[in-house]
Structure 1
Amino acid sequence: MVVGTRIPTVTPRQAGLLTRIGYWYSKRRFGAVPEPFAVMANHPKLMRAAGVHETLVERASTVLPANIREIAVYRTARTIGCSWCVDFGTMLMRHSDLNIDKLQHIDDFATSPHYSDDERAAIAYADAMTATPPTVTDEQVTDLKRRFGSQGVMELTYQIALENSRARGYAALGITDQGFSKDACRVPWAED
């Protein structure tokens, strides 16, 4: 069991000017500095690249309805077992006024009345993409194109693939839930 991150967080005192500005912005936006940012700050150039990438992906993700995108990303994080991603994703869903109560029924998504047919298709696609090896079928993609169009399928695919990367990376680094979904954020360097 990992206690704390496998790579230490960078405190504001240790951080350079651009990282401190990033901390200020993220604390203002999310209420606390997300621990992955504080770990990524060990490599400031990668941290900036990741921040730019995440911002661009967020701005470009406008085709799918938010509930479809977020439920697929949540399912991916949960399947991989990234408690940080589940925690942060739940907060993002709540702030987007999405129904987070339905998350308790996600294991029964295929039959639960809490999910629409579009959400079921997106969750099943997230499962197929996240499986090792992936189990995506031609029929599945054809169905998704009918529902969301080619751009929607591209957006869904990209978001699920990105969450696979995030969740696997954060799990490898020992980054765990931070309390975002409970409004009780822990600042990673509070113990310093």
Structure 2
Amino acid sequence: MGVTRIPAVTPKQAGLLTRMTYWYSKRRFGEVPEPFAVLANHPKLMRAAGVHETLVERGSTKLAVPIREIAVYYVARTVGCSWCVDFGSMLMRLSDLDLDRLRHIDDYQSSDHYSEDERAAIAYAEAMTATPPTVTDEQVTDLKKRFGTEGVMELTYHIALENSRARSYHALGITDQGFSQDSCRVPWAE
């Protein structure tokens, strides 16, 4: 765990809306996620990100949670965002998903720990995250058969959003916080 490249805003430094966001976040997640505390350096963007994340969460109803979460996890791991892997593992645990199978994600194409639908979603995440992206028409056609058009849109949006999160947090030096172990590091304690 390192120090972020831009320091977290402490509750004493924060305005009223940011302190309210911290209170809600701590209540929901057990601790304030460090990306929120760093983004609080720009309160308007922090509020916009919070509203966006809430709307995405509420609007994501077409794709099965395990499909979405495994694809998002793959992106976080590929980009190298330890915070996203940590937080994503917590979300999967709270959704009662099998975390042990994550050890086999490098072999997702042949591992019996993954369904055909999960393999297709992970392959899509891999293709979208590649630089440059390597998504094919055949891949999207296959995903539409599996998940429907709205499911593909949802999967695409979540993969792209996780690329944005993971790359932003990595750039800002935000690292794992301990969410996957139920023992979180407080962002401003260092």
TM normalised by structure 2 equals 0.99
Write out the 4+ residue segments of structure 1 that deviate beyond 3 Å after TM superposition: none
1:187 aligns with 2:186: yes
Residue 3 of structure 1: how far off its partner (Å) = 3.0
Matches within 5 A, 1:1-192: 3-191=2-190
Kindly provide the amino acid, as one letter, of the partner of residue 57 in structure 2: E
In 2: Cα distance, 1:47 partner to 1:55 partner: 12
Deviation digits for residues 113-137 of structure 1 (CA, Å, limit 9, x no counterpart): 0000000000000000000000000
In 2: Cα distance, 1:129 partner to 1:136 partner: 6
Report the secondary structure of 1:133's partner residue.
coil
Identity of aligned residues (%): 81
Q: Across the two proteins, how many residue pairs are aligned to each other?
A: 190
Is the contact between residue 125 and residue 159 of structure 2 (CA under 8 Å) also seen in structure 1?
Answer: yes
In 2: Cα distance, 1:18 partner to 1:49 partner: 12
Unaligned stretches of 5+ residues in structure 2: none
Deviation digits for residues 83-134 of structure 1 (CA, Å, limit 9, x no counterpart): 0000000000000111111111100100100000000000000000000000
In 1: Cα distance, 2:121 partner to 2:108 partner: 10
Residue 188 of structure 1: how far off its partner (Å) = 1.1
Deviation digits for residues 18-77 of structure 1 (CA, Å, limit 9, x no counterpart): 000000000000000000000000000000000000000000001000000000000000
Kindly provide the amino acid, as one letter, of the partner of residue 150 in structure 1: T
Kindly provide the amino acid, as one letter, of the partner of residue 6 in structure 1: R
In 1: Cα distance, 2:46 partner to 2:161 partner: 16
Kindly provide the amino acid, as one letter, of the partner of residue 7 in structure 1: I
In 2: Cα distance, 1:121 partner to 1:19 partner: 39
Is the contact between residue 26 and residue 32 of structure 2 (CA under 8 Å) also seen in structure 1?
Answer: yes
Report the secondary structure of 2:17's partner residue.
helix
Is the contact between residue 2 and residue 175 of structure 2 (CA under 8 Å) also seen in structure 1?
Answer: no
The alignment yields a C-alpha RMSD, in angstroms, of 0.8
In 1: Cα distance, 2:187 partner to 2:171 partner: 17
TM normalised by structure 1 equals 0.98
In 1: Cα distance, 2:21 partner to 2:107 partner: 39
In 2: Cα distance, 1:84 partner to 1:95 partner: 17
